[in-house]
A and B are shown apart, each in its own frame.
Chain A
Amino acid sequence: MKDWEDRIKDRLDGYEMKLPASDRDAFLNRKATRERYARRRRNILSLAVGIPAALAILCAIFFFVYLLSR
């Protein structure tokens, strides 16, 4: 025979609580904000890596040209 805890467990398992009326909209807003933020962060990260990398390549080219012209 199941004790009271098992009975509570059985009844709570998979129990669905009624969501607040506007929950779907709140969720979608939050998800959109999170995605926008993540996209912005990815852009900043690519700029932070891309600009120094481009500068390094330019410097290397200039240095190579300088060496050749001597």
Chain B
Amino acid sequence: MGEKGMKENPVSDSELALRCARKDSEAQSELYTRYAGRLYAVCFRYTGDRDDAQDLMHDAMIKAMESIGSFRYNGEGSLYAWLRRLAVNISIDRLRELGRYQTVSLDSTMEGTVPEPQDDDDVDAIPVQVMLDMIASLPDVRRTVFNMYCIDGFSHKEIADAIHITEKGSASILAKSRAQLKNAINEYLKRTGR
């Protein structure tokens, strides 16, 4: 996997995908360089653990390189959207295999209302990595539902199908994860004196 050639002549995503489909090792290396960091962040959002995220990112990259022939380019950003979906699916499958969604019925704490973060600018001032760590600290089910619904745009029906819960259950878990995250944001803002 040499990197040199593509660094000198950056290729478009559509060209990159075509070359990866032909098993061009230079293109595969470029795919890794371009997207590994972003997929690592996606997997970390779902697993909440750096080592697990690294493993899953590798799996997602390998799967992408094997099946990129089925990818259809739909304009700028479509390759990343396709890769992200792959990484999300692989992360959810792995967490389900590990039985980390079995605590759904016990997920009944954190009732009640939590105030919205005071100022939206304050939310913007939180470093992204701190935000990721806050999401990572949510319990598995809450983290997954929050990520799927709020960040990756899945519907409650899709979430229910993916992690084998009801749509109502998904909505209720989402409310709890929102409350817990809002709490974490407010605490962080208080701690840092904003």
Contacts and interface: CB of A to CB of B under 8 A. Distances in A.
Interface of A: 1-5, 7-9, 11-20, 23-24, 26-28, 30-31, 34
Given A26-B58, A34-B62, A12 B37 contact: no
Interface of B: 1, 32, 36-38, 40-41, 44-45, 50, 54, 58, 61-62, 65, 80, 116-117, 120, 123-124, 128-129, 131-132, 150-151, 178, 182, 185
B147 to A, nearest CB: 9
A23 B54 contact: yes
A4 B116 CA distance: 8
Leading 7 A-B pairs by shortest Cβ distance = A16-B37, A17-B41, A4-B123, A17-B40, A15-B41, A5-B150, A4-B117
Contact of A4 (B62, B65, B120, B129): B120
Contact of A8 (B32, B36, B58, B150): B150
A9 B124 contact: no
14 contacts: A7-B123, A9-B151, A12-B132, A12-B151, A16-B38, A17-B37, A19-B36, A20-B54, A23-B36, A24-B32, A26-B54, A27-B32, A30-B58, A31-B62
Nearest to B150: A5
A42 to B, nearest CB: 13
Nearest to A24: B32
Given A19-B40, A26-B58, A12 B124 contact: no
Contacts of A23: 36, 54
Contact of B128 (A15, A19, A34): A15
Contacts of A3: 116, 120
B61 A27 contact: yes
A19 B185 contact: no
A17 B185 CA distance: 20
B132 to A, nearest CB: 7
A19 B35 CA distance: 11
Q: Which of B129, B151, B182, B185 counts the most A-chain CB atoms under 10 A from its CB?
A: B151
Contacts of A8: 123, 131, 150-151
A9 B150 contact: yes
A55 B129 CA distance: 62
Contacts of A19: 36-37, 40, 54
A19 B65 CA distance: 19
Nearest to A6: B150
A26 B131 CA distance: 27
